[in-house]
Structure 1
Amino acid sequence: MTPLSPVHVAVHANLAVIRQGIGLLAELGEARFTARIPICYNASVGGHLRHIVEHYQCFLRGLGEGGIDYEDRARDPLIEGSPGYASAIMEEISHRLTVLAATLPNRGLQIGAGTAEGLMTDTSVLRELEFLLSHTIHHYAIVAVMARVQGCEPEATFGVAPSTIKFQQTQNVCAR
Structure 2
Amino acid sequence: MDIIIESSIQTLKKAQALLNNLTDDTLCNKSVSPYYSSIGTHIRHILDFYDCIFSVNLENKIDLTARSRNKEVETVCCSAKTYLNSIIEKLNTFELDMTDSLLVTDDLGLGKVTMTYSYGSLFAQANSHTIHHYAIINYIMEGLNISFKDSEFGYNPTTPKQTSLN
Fold match by TM threshold 0.5: yes
Distance in 2 (alpha carbons) for counterparts of 1:163 and 1:148: 23
Distance 1:22 1:65 in 2: 33
- Cα distance in 1 for partners of 2:59, 2:51 equals 12
Which residue identity lines up with residue 173 of structure 1 in the other structure?
T
**Which whole-Å CA distance do the structure 1 matches of 2:55 and 2:93 have between them?**
15
What is the alpha-carbon distance in structure 2 between the residues aligned to residue 109 and residue 54 of structure 1? Answer: 18
Higher helix share: 1
CA contact (8 A) 1:36 1:44 kept: yes
Between the aligned residues of both structures, percent identity stands at: 23
Alignment check: 8 A CA contact 1:28 1:147 kept = no
Aligned to 1:128: 122
Deviation per CA, 1:32-83: give whole Å up to 9, x if none: 1111134141111111111111001001112765111111011111110111
Letter paired with 1:125: Y
Task: Give TM-score, length-normalised by structure 2.
Answer: 0.88
- Give the total of aligned pairs: 160
TM-score after normalising by structure 1? 0.83
SS at match of 2:163: coil
Q: Which amino acid aligns with 2:105?
A: G
Q: Is the 8 A contact 2:45 2:69 kept in 1?
A: yes
Distance 1:11 1:143, change over 3 A: same
Asked if structure 2 preserves the Cα contact closer than 8 Å seen for 1:112 and 1:121, the reply is yes
Instruction: State the alpha-carbon separation in 2 of the partners of residues 63 and 136 from structure 1.
Output: 23
Match of 1:109 in 2: 102
* Counterparts of 1:86 and 1:65, CA distance in 2: 30
Aligned partner of residue 135 in structure 2, secondary structure: helix
Look up the match of 1:84.
78
User: What SS does the aligned partner of 2:93 have?
Assistant: helix
Relative to 1, partners in 2 of residues 1:30 and 1:77: Cα closer, same or farther, differing over 3 Å? Answer: same
Q: CA separation in 1, counterparts of 2:41 and 2:101?
A: 31
Match in the other structure for 2:39: 45
In structure 2, the residue matched to 1:20 is: 14
The reply to whether residue 173 of structure 1 matches residue 163 of structure 2 is: yes
